[in-house]
Chain A
Amino acid sequence: SYELTQPPSVSVSPGQTARITCSGDALPKQYAYWYQQKPGQAPVLVIYKDSERPSGIPERFSGSSSGTTVTLTISGVQAEDEADYYCQSADSSVVFGGGTKLTVL
């Protein structure tokens, strides 16, 4: 079955740039989507169609795609950005990555 691979954890200091990757063989032909999930809360969409940002999401969140890897970039990380981040895409069905815990040091 199709898998999306994310690093389990990423740590950055406040004000730095965090980059979270997601790899999958079908990503060159399928869009990727990113969700932020804080403890005890439902996921929130932060990036759609690889690089589009929904209204209400801060400009410091951006997405990019290159080959079989997509990247969520958070510029000028703030303490409130500490959360789990999941990528989502599809091959023959919808698939989520395993999630990355972003720690703000």
Chain B
Amino acid sequence: QVQLQESGPGLVKPSETLSLTCAVSGYSISSGYYWGWIRQPPGKGLEWIGSIYHSGSTYYNPSLKSRVTISVDTSKNQFSLKLSSVTAADTAVYYCARQDIAAASDGWGWFDPWGQGTLVTVSS
């Protein structure tokens, strides 16, 4: 079955760029679906960051758009997140997930499955 695994530094300094990668196994990214990033600050709710299609087409949360870049590497079957100019408010568990838009017919779809998540702390 499809599995996703996040990886990247667990500690990032303020004003620097957070970089994470999501490795996908059990499914070829090139075959379809969108692939998304979602985060969850400690003790708080979920926030969608953005999503990417295998062609490279992206869409982002308007509140984060100026700082977010999501890219895809189909040769490695993985996609990545970069979040620039981070502050303590960006401390969160970051999840990657497959996003099923085509079957939803509403243009947005749902996230399933999810990776286990990785905690990123922003601190000097």
Which residues of A does B touch, CB under 8 Å?
1, 30-31, 33, 35, 41-45, 48-49, 54, 86, 88-90, 92-99
Contact = CB atoms under 8 A, between A and B. Distances in A.
Contact of A89 (B46, B108, B116): B108
Interface string B99-124: 01000101110111111110000000
B115 A42 contact: yes
Contacts of A54: 112
Contact of B112 (A45, A49, A97): A45
Contacts, number: 64
B112 A88 contact: no
B62 interface: yes
A93 B51 CA distance: 11
7 interchain residue pairs of minimum CB distance? A90-B108, A94-B48, A45-B112, A42-B114, A33-B110, A96-B46, A99-B45
A44 B46 contact: no
Contacts of B107: 90
A42 B104 contact: no
